[in-house]
Amino acid sequence: MLNPSIFKSYDVRGIYPSELNENAALAVGRAFIKLTGAKNVVVGHDARLSSPALFKAVVQGLLAEGAQVTSIGQTPTEGIYFAVASYNFDAGIMITASHNPKDYNGFKMMTRKGEDIAWVRGKDLLYLAKDEAITENDTPIKELNIWPDYLSFVLKFSGNIKPFTVAIDASNGVMGNVILELEDKLQITILPLNFKPDGNFPNHSPNPLEEGASSQIADVIIKEKADFGFMFDGDADRIFLVDEQGAMVSADIVLLLLAKHFLAKKPGTGIAYNLICSRSVPEFVKEWGGMPVRTQVGFVNVREGLMKNNGVMGGELSAHYCFADYFYCDSGMIAFLTLLQIISTENKPVSEIVKELTIYAKPLQLTFKISDQDAVLQKVKEKYADGKQDFLDGITVEYQDWWFNLRPSNTEPLLKLTIEANTQDLLEQKKQELSECINS
């Protein structure tokens, strides 16, 4: 029996095999064709242990509905975006659970309409998905090697790069092999960490933000005196910059580095950011002559804001960065190559570059398990009625020297709180004050 909980707001995702299994994958494949009418679908997968089995099953579903299927094999998620946008496909499916723990897997789905790539939301498949037995279809599937074309495309973003020594942690995901293809073209010395794809993720979580996940790269940077480093998550659509002292740079500060670079190339254009990023993001974007585009949390929302507002690039606090010149999709690789170029131009240690953009105490994020979310949101709204309030995503309240956002999770009975203040002392004070209000 299909588990309806796997059909999420943005994708299909669940624990394998208790929530998401081969029968569910078959149902997803069939429902995807019924919903989209796609005739020619490209499919790729990440390095998770369950990905080959789910690949086979979802392909059976696609074939059962009469679609032609082409495989690009194991790939970063951005490889699927490139394939859909660059070849004769009208849809794509990526088998991945991104940065989730190893027992998870899922499907990111998209269609192509003209020059645009549109996301297919998991929840839109639910009413079409039927639990059926798998029957083998021996229709052959094609195979496509995208890598020569892909590498040629992304290298346009590399520019002049200095001969740095750079530690790169691929998290035993799917970016290591792609980086190796580029190494001799970048003139940098790479210190590779966890480049071998391994769905057991034996060295640390595929989520670089998990506690302890960045310890390994920090130790290597310091021991080997590397100039800086990067971490990719499991499917490589998120990238994290680590400075020469082994400290991870906040993703909204990295967004500012990228924004300044792209605004210099395309002045006056939009920079999309989600509303839990530092208030320094819209402030600097305005200072640099750009147009800040504030969105709800979630990459899909950032992308929509980018597309609708003459945007050149966008990003969010989870370290997704999307680019108008990459089909308005997110690309860890383009962020990687652009950051190499930016750091080369700045000619300063990364810690000094980012210090100039870090003008407030680092935003704090907390999670509360709350059953009656509406009651808590109303209580907070009333308590902070003297601040500037908006309700784009949950409730945001702004004061002159601090602000916060409190919003419900899309998938769990949780409230997520983000607070930023001008000083660390004020941040700690407001953390205690808001926590007491939410929990009382």
Given the residues 51, 98, 205, 250, the one annotated as active site: 98
Ranges in the chain, pLDDT < 50: none
Do both 261 and 376 map to the same domain? no
Question: Shortest CA distance to 38 belongs to which of 103, 125, 157, 97?
Answer: 125
Asked if residue 293 belongs to a domain, the reply is yes
Looking at the structure, do residues 132 and 234 belong to the same domain, yes or no?
Answer: no
In a domain, 307, yes or no: yes
> pTM for the complete prediction?
0.96
DSSP H helical ranges for 309-423: 332-346, 350-355, 373-383
Same domain as 229, residue 129: no
Q: Are residues 236 and 264 in the same domain?
A: no
Q: Are residues 350 and 431 in the same domain?
A: no
Write down which residue in 222, 242, 262 finishes a domain. 242
**What does the buried/exposed string (b/e) look like for 83-106 if buried means 16 or more CB atoms within 10 Å of the residue's CB?**
bbbebebbbbbbbbbbbbebbbbb
CA atoms within 13 A on the CB side of 32: 39
From 59, 54, 44, 22, select the one nearest 138 (Cα to Cα).
59
Is the same domain home to 168 and 237?
A: yes
Residue 100 forms part of a structural domain? yes
Predicted local distance difference test score (pLDDT) of residue 411: 61
Task: Note the pLDDT of residue 1.
Answer: 85
112: in domain:
yes
Residue 215 annotated as catalytic:
no
Q: Are residues 14 and 135 in the same domain?
A: yes
Burial of 426 (0-12, 13-18, 19+ CB in 10 A): middle
Tens digits of per-residue pLDDT, 220-240? Answer: 999 999 999 999 999 999 999
Same domain, 141 and 9: yes
Q: Which domain holds residue 280?
A: 251-355
pLDDT in tens, 340-366: 999 999 989 999 999 999 999 989 999
Work out how many domains the chain is built from and give that number: 4
Output the pLDDT for position 10.
87
Whether 152 is covered by a domain: the verdict is no
Long-range contacts of 384-393 (CB under 8 A, 24+ apart): 392/275, 392/294, 392/295, 392/296, 393/274, 393/275, 393/296, 393/297
Distance, CA of 315 to CA of 297 (rounded, Å): 10
| Together in a domain, 9 and 142 | yes
pLDDT tens per residue, range 98-132: 999 999 999 999 999 888 899 999 999 999 999 88
Do residues 408 and 342 share a domain?
no
Which structure tokens are listed for 392?
């784009």
pLDDT, residue 440, reads 84
